[in-house]
Structure 1
């Protein structure tokens, strides 16, 4: 997905890597942001649940980055369908840093998970 994540006027690209290993944690997932500039890509940044400012931590099978959206006006949303044993969750990041990132999932929004189909826990 492309958009201006850091607000510098250049398009950035965000790519989810759902099967990425984070440290020793398999299928934890990550998002790679490639920052645009007048001459092309100026820098790259990898964001995981272990990135300071991101709520939670990388766990096996989370698949953080399954869906990534860069919104106009400097916003990044990320999903992890395997979070919390397959209940899933989403994150919202504003601006180029993870500070102030928020997360939300079924329990935070009052959605019951009893009898949930556990779609997110397909990968080991």
Structure 2
């Protein structure tokens, strides 16, 4: 797994990793009005790179409010523009609950782990 550091601060760490040809953006910390642009910049870079899909791993996100929701909606739109699949790993309540309450969870492809998201990207072998 190749990894590049985008940003590290007391509130946020964003890394990009290549996992089996899929770009995974790993976010840890707080996604708020002060940090959302850093997350979106990393997602934009991920969509611009090669590969059929992008996975946003929000497992390590401890705060996620309306700005985070807006960031994921924008990322979903970017995925459409780049004709790529966009999967979000959000196993914890801090991220999943706001997405469910607002109905955004119905639009995004949510997963409980990166492995689960990557499995969803693999074609099912025909019988």
* Range of TM-score over shorter length: under 0.3
Higher helix share: 2
Q: Tell me which structure has the larger Cα radius of gyration.
A: 1
TM-score by length of 1: 0.27
TM-score by length of 2: 0.27
